[in-house]
Amino acid sequence: MLPEDLLVFLNDQIPCRQVQIKQLACLLDPTISNPSVLVLHGLEATGKSLTAKVILNSLLVPFAIVRSKECITARHLLERTIIACKDALGKIDDGEAATHLSNFDGRCESLSSLTVQLERMTTLQSKFILIFDGIDRQREAPSTLLPALARLGEIIPKLTVIFIVTAPRPRFLHLAGVPHLHFTPYDRTECLIILSQSPLSIFSSAVSDDDLSEELILERQEDDAWLWSRFCGAVWDSLGKGAARDVVSLRNVCERLWVPFVLPIRDGLSGTREFSKLLVRNRSLFQAESALNERIVSLASTTTTTKKAIKNSHELPYCTSYLLIAAYLASYNPARQDQTFFMKAHERKRRKKGGGTAKGRPSKHRKIQRKLLGPQVFVMERMLAIYHAVLPYPVPGGMGDLMGQIATLASSKMLVKTSTMADILDAGTKWRVNVGWEYIQVIARTIGFEIEGFLAE
């Protein structure tokens, strides 16, 4: 068991992970027998890698971390493992160890070669920890890679292998009795505790702390911590609870909204402790979803260029905008070209057996752009298929949420039902989009979608 002062230090370094710290410290205690393999699993940004690294540094146990997202192939992973172990053991101030490690050049072609080299490397150590971070996302990994790596600890008695994964499959290591340590997602209170440890400054960094007195610096730090904690709570309640995937994305959203939120304080219009007035003055920041979209160009520059166009359009939610775009594409694209525009897997081109226009023969019919013609009828199944194809990443929420948004578009007359079916949300119901090209172009620009590349000529 760790000393009480060391546990307090670890809890300060890794907040809201007291249970996981105690369990991992007991499993990796160098004074007792450790398991040959250990699995740390949980969602992204839940502190798995940080907890393992801080605890091993506190226990003074040599370890090496191999990040699978930096490895292209399985052989690349094996060679990076040898290099990481060599670098970790090379940090030990021992002349005999340095001479021993000079015989390894980093080449590794198979798992058997990895086993032999690791066993030779760790001959002078009493205990060594090998961590594979994100091993479940390793590219070009054979099905036998993970079970073989899990048995390294059985072959090499001084070695303990730790797998850090997101969601482990049942018996994915083909071993029984493997300890699993779950890192639960952070709730609202835990997220606010983590974000409050590093508050942003209210005032700009143009004035250095050397020009201010010590009392004024302490007062500003207290104001920063007081306002930042309440601001993060407001962001969580309005945007972060349903949109932020983890504490890192929540932090990014807070950083985007912080400067416009404290701008009245910098201009002298509000005080640092007048949170209610700031919340009312900047309520538009918490109502719009623009801060949730990742952008390369700043929001201010894009707003000025499209200000006139947005004036004549509605501000739709993120998923509703993609639903309206999918409806427009279903109305103005022929159904036979859906595979060309929306299939993500390329198929082999089939040889055309006949028909078509001969090369060089002028066509008798003049082509008219599809967007200049009237909207065509489509079924709801086709619109939903296009919606899932153009959506950049899956959004949490079931089919009921999508049906509610379709009903909202129908009530606002942006979608018009053309069939006589009683249930408007039936999969075979026929619809027609009721917005024009200029309107849908503005909607696509607000969410960063290039609709021109998905329209048939």
Dist. CA 300–CA 331, nearest whole Å: 33
Residue 418 pLDDT: 86
Dist. CA 450–CA 445, nearest whole Å: 7
Joined tokens for residue 375: 């909207």
Residue 394 pLDDT: 75
Q: Are strands 37-42 and 378-379 parallel, antiparallel or unpaired?
A: unpaired
In sequence order, what are the beta bridge partners of 432? 416
Place of tokens 């075979």: 428
Dist. CA 223–CA 202, nearest whole Å: 8
In contact, 85 and 121? CB cutoff 8 Å = yes
Dist. CA 325–CA 440, nearest whole Å: 7
Please report which helix (H) or strand (E) contains residue 116, including its range: helix 111-121
pTM metric for this prediction:
0.63
In contact, 413 and 439? CB cutoff 8 Å = no
Rounded to the nearest 5°, which phi and psi values hold at 170?
-60, 125
Distances 300 to 291, 311, 391 between C-alpha atoms, Å: 11, 16, 25
- Non-local CB neighbours of 417 within 8 Å, separated by 6+ positions: 410, 424, 429, 430, 431
- Non-local CB neighbours of 112 within 8 Å, separated by 6+ positions: none
Please report which helix (H) or strand (E) contains residue 163, including its range: strand 159-165
| Identity of residue 27 | L
Positive/negative CA dihedral, 404, 409, 410, 415: negative
Report residues of the chain scoring pLDDT below 50.
301-311, 346-358
In contact, 104 and 142? CB cutoff 8 Å = no
Rounded to the nearest 5°, which phi and psi values hold at 292?
-85, -15
Residue 24 pLDDT: 94
Residue 379's nearest CA partner among 336, 327, 333 is 327
Residue 364 pLDDT: 55
Dist. CA 224–CA 266, nearest whole Å: 13
CB atoms within 10 A of CB 405: 20
Dist. CA 56–CA 87, nearest whole Å: 16
Region class of 171: left (phi > 0), else alpha (psi between -120 and 50), else beta: left
Burial 243-256 (b: 16+ CB within 10 A, else e): bbeebebbbebbeb
Dist. CA 191–CA 253, nearest whole Å: 13
Please report which helix (H) or strand (E) contains residue 164, including its range: strand 159-165
